[in-house]
Amino acid sequence: MAKKKVAKNKPARKPITKRPKRKPPGPAPAPLGYGNTFNGCPEVGRTKLGLPPPPPKQAENKHKNRATAPPYVNPKITLDAILAPGNDVQRWSINDGATVTGYLANAVQGGPEECNCEQVGEPNVDTHIELVRDLADTSGSKVFIAEFTPRWKARNPGWTTQKMLTLKGRKVEVTGWMFFDPDHQNESENTKAPGANVWRATAWEIHPVTAFKVI
């Protein structure tokens, strides 16, 4: 009698899955700090030798050269609050937008700086304005600095040093980004070094100014 063949259970086949098609690579990201170039000057700036500054300075310059207005303003930032005495290194944030009202005591054309690639001349340098609470007291320890940068001056032709000088003594409103300038920390009343020449109240400033009006 012939033996019956016993059917063996075959293992179930795994379903065949198709590998997803790879997307073609997109464009390479722009080098750090070169997405906001103005008049040939990248937002990270350049040294006198035409080289990128050290990384800490590159970060500072990117904040100085911001080309967009702050999406909000911190209502706690007023001229009175800014000029309040005491160490203020941590008082505000460089991510704060601010609107400050005060009297325009003076305007000064800036010189060549790394943030502006060491360029010279009115269109390519900052314009500094000095704001005070009271025109009767414009001593350095009572001065708050705001700066118009080349990127914003190009959009607003009236923001020149010469124009600001014609507004001396007028009450103005300035809006922009808060920035703590470590280069002037020792020269500021609130963070001064012993024996330093103090010419401003604080190393905090509005830099860049993104909106300006005479009140």
Domains and CATH numbers, the chain: 70-214 (2.40.50.140)
If you write DSSP's letter for every residue of 140-164 in order, what string do you get?
A: GGG-EEEEE-HHHHHH-TT-SHHHH
pLDDT score of 205: 98
Task: Quote the pLDDT of residue 13.
Answer: 62
Kindly state the tokens that stand for 22: 């790879």
CB 70 within 8 A of CB 99: no
* Residue type (1 letter), 192: K
| Residue 129 C-beta-side C-alpha neighbours within 13 Å | 34
Judge if pTM exceeds 0.85: no
Along the chain (215 residues), what's the average pLDDT of each consecutive run of 10 residues? Answer: 54 58 45 68 96 96 97 97 97 98 97 96 95 94 97 95 98 98 96 94 98 97
How deeply is 167 buried, as exposed, middle or buried, from its count of CB atoms within 10 A (0-12, 13-18, 19+)?
middle
What six digits make up the tokens of 193? 């070094």
